[in-house]
Amino acid sequence: MSFPTVSEIVANSPAAAAGLAVGDELLSICGVVPSDVIEYQQLVDEADIDLTVRRGGLEWDVTIEKAPGAPLGLRLDSSIFDRVQTCDNHCEFCFIYQLPPGMRKSLYLKDDDYRLSFLYGNFTTLTRFTELDLARVVDEQLGPLYVSIHATDPEVRSAMLRNPRGATSLRWLRALLEHGIEVHGQVVLCPTVNGGPILERTFAEILISYPALASVGIVPLGLSRFNTEANLRVHTDAEAAAAVEATEQWQQIALARLGRRMFYASDELYLQAGIPIPAHDAYEDFAQHENGIGMARAFYDELDELEAGHRPEPVGVTGQYATVAAAPAEGYRAPRTAATPPGPPPAPAEAASEGELPTVIVTAPYGAQVIEPVRPRLERLAGGPLRVLAVENEFFGGNVAVSGLMVGTDLQAALRADSGPAARYLIPDVALSGDRFLDDGSVVDVAAAAKAPLLVVPTSVAGLVAGARR
């Protein structure tokens, strides 16, 4: 077991006043060796904190006095201190198996840990869940959790997970719901595997057997050019349309039975099928926004609000501690960037002068599909011309077409090849972790390939408008 290690100290905090420093190991807190940041957070919420610290091989005890609930003022280097519960499934559709070699080690972390589900919204299959885990979740009310269902047919689910425990592990989902834990589910839809009649059965059995589920997202298989599974292929446009139609039909059934829609299809399915994005009310509380469900509608809603001169309300962040500076998210599904709060409504912009060069919005193909229809409205807010540059994902290939998976090499190639006019280029921050893209390319490298200044902006209407006005 490793010990939590300090990676950052907040100035003028209780931790700083006590003399703690970056690199210190916390051997115990109030006599307890915490196993994860959840337990750490509970321990340091107390008024007086007794720590055993190790620095450079030397150990000493320190007591930190502070108000109950006041932050200790430090950040740790990880969120799990004992051992991340790695995934022992071998799902043929797992995107981590479709990553090329040579990327950052953390991207290959394939977890199935309920604690990361609670902390950051990672999806777990519950195949490694135990009675001890259930007791802790219920005792500490560790919700919401996020569970990959994929199919309720035991044989289909175990075959998809390539794990015989997949046939029975949904019993833990029932137990969690019976104990009042908030759970959100997802179905990764794979053509010829769990669509069609199997998807219909999944809808029906979820509604009958798991009606307390807070939401269920229907998301399409993501397929990269590194896929080696001959059984997998991307959805056709007709299959995407059929999945949307089935989801909307079961939404209405759930609405009649439960008073809420429960089932939600991903934006990717709507965009591929060419079906208009549903209205705001169809997403209810946008519970699966970070799973790519309702992002386009939230973007349009923000545009409406800014045009009306209002300050938009941000969509909530997944994960109990996602906004607490305690420890970083880990693994491939960790958030690309921290949430950016919305700024004030843009002030009225001056009219564009004739011949003014456009600001270029650099985005992925799906992003371009969302932005292009409202580009004239964005131009009016920005007070100048805009151009959308859709960057194909050659790095991952397949059907990868979302902005969060754009990489530096593709962006450099696209900017070098861009022959259109440009006053500046805007890159969405959702593609970055710090200043690095998923392929470990840097913002500096991408900026060097551009013929005009490059800015990284929040992935929002307000971010685009503010970037265009600079």
Pair of tokens at residue 170: 């949904």
The owner of tokens 């290690």 is 5
Confidence of residue 58 (pLDDT cuts 50, 70, 90): very high
Cβ atoms within 10 Å of 343's Cβ, excluding its own: 15
Residues of the chain with pLDDT > 70, as a percent, come to 91
Distances (CA, A) of 432 to 409, 416, 437: 13, 20, 5
Express each pLDDT in 232-244 by its tens digit.
Answer: 999 999 999 999 9
Q: The tokens of 82 are what?
A: 């004992």
- Record: fold of 6-76: Pdz3 Domain (2.30.42)
Mean pLDDT of 173-191: 97
The answer to whether 367 and 428 are in contact (CB under 8 A) is: yes
Stretch 169-198: mean pLDDT: 96
The confidence band for 317, taking pLDDT boundaries of 50, 70 and 90, is low
Residues 6+ positions from 359 with CB-CB distance below 8 Å? 382, 384, 385, 386, 387, 422, 423, 424, 425, 426, 467, 468
Q: pTM value?
A: 0.90
Query: Which two three-digit tokens encode residue 89?
Result: 């499934």
More confident residue, 253 or 46: 253
The reply to whether domains 6-76 and 95-307 share a CATH topology is: no
pLDDT of residue 332: 46
Q: Please give the angle made by the CA atoms of 260, 460 and 352, to the nearest 5 degrees.
A: 135
How confident is the model over 336-380, as pLDDT tens digits? 554 444 445 555 566 556 569 999 999 999 999 999 999 999 999
1 — pLDDT class (breaks 50, 70, 90): low
pLDDT score recorded for residue 280:
96
pLDDT at 313: 79
Asked if residues 417 and 405 have their Cβ atoms less than 8 Å apart, the reply is no
Residue 3 in contact with residue 14, Cβ under 8 Å? no
How much of the chain, in percent, has pLDDT values that exceed 90? 72
**Of 195, 301, 284, 211, the residue nearest 247 (C-alpha):** 195
| pLDDT mean across residues, the chain | 90
pLDDT per residue as tens digits for the range 143-163: 999 999 999 999 999 999 999
- At 173 the pLDDT is 98
pLDDT, greater one: 176 or 354: 176
Residues 364 and 435: their CA atoms lie apart, in Å, by 18
Arch. (CATH architecture) of 95-307: Alpha-Beta Barrel (3.20)
More confident call, 360 vs 325: 360
Distance in angstroms (rounded) separating the CA atoms of residues 362 and 381: 18
pLDDT at residue number 231: 86
The domain locations on the chain are 6-76, 95-307, 359-469
CA atoms within 13 A on the CB side of 247: 29
Q: What is the mean pLDDT of residues 47-72?
A: 92
> Could you tell me the CA-to-CA distances from 16 to 25, 75, 282 in Å, in that order?
15, 12, 48
